[in-house]
A and B are shown apart, each in its own frame.
Chain A
Amino acid sequence: AQSVTQLDSQVPVFEEAPVELRCNYSSSVSVYLFWYVQYPNQGLQLLLKYLSGSTLVKGINGFEAEFNKSQTSFHLRKPSVHISDTAEYFCAVTEVDNDMRFGAGTRLTVKP
């Protein structure tokens, strides 16, 4: 069964700085990868997804991620963060006919 590891539980960063949130997965078959964002006391909102095709995926709010099959990674990046990007970010993976598995989450805190 698939699994996903988010390597950083907390990432503090200053406003307008670049950020990378790391995600690695393990699976023996083809996978589908997602990044979700959760603001306090809210549900999860999809930032971006990789199903097939181009390995560089662009999402909402200026985020992008790159699927790297050889390194089994799907890291999330943003070139310049805003205070409003402060939230919990979850990487998720699924295989065909399998349930979605979430990573433990990364708390991104953007400081002024």
Chain B
Amino acid sequence: DTEVTQTPKHLVMGMTNKKSLKCEQHMGHRAMYWYKQKAKKPPELMFVYSYEKLSINESVPSRFSPECPNSSLLNLHLHALQPEDSALYLCASSSQGSIYEQFFGPGTRLTVL
């Protein structure tokens, strides 16, 4: 299984809602990533879990909260988002840090009203 799955595919939420994005891989990878991608832009790294240790991009606001329940699962909890947070959220995994290829999921298209 060389696939990264993400749910939901689409999400529409209001600014007062709390929601979660989910990501799963069964490739035995020990590094997982969350990226945010705006239209016509490259992915921007938000968070990295490597061997279940979290690294944070300091510019990511606290209304985004990652969680790694185990080495196969990665969640992104969303709370009090702003319309400018609307984007495609991509999850990726790699076998051992960034020097190996990252496998990307199909993404969750998030719209904040």
Contact = CB atoms under 8 A, between A and B. Distances in A.
Chain B, interface size category, equals 20 to 34
Given A90-B42, A102-B43, A104-B42, A42 B106 contact: yes
Interface of B: 4, 6, 40-43, 45, 48, 88, 90, 92, 97-99, 101-107, 109
Interface of A: 32, 34, 36, 41-46, 49, 51, 88, 90, 94-100, 102-105, 107
28 contacts: A32-B98, A32-B99, A41-B88, A41-B107, A42-B106, A42-B107, A43-B4, A43-B104, A43-B105, A43-B107, A44-B90, A44-B92, A45-B104, A46-B102, A46-B103, A88-B40, A90-B42, A90-B43, A94-B98, A95-B99, A96-B99, A97-B97, A99-B45, A100-B45, A100-B98, A104-B42, A105-B41, A107-B40
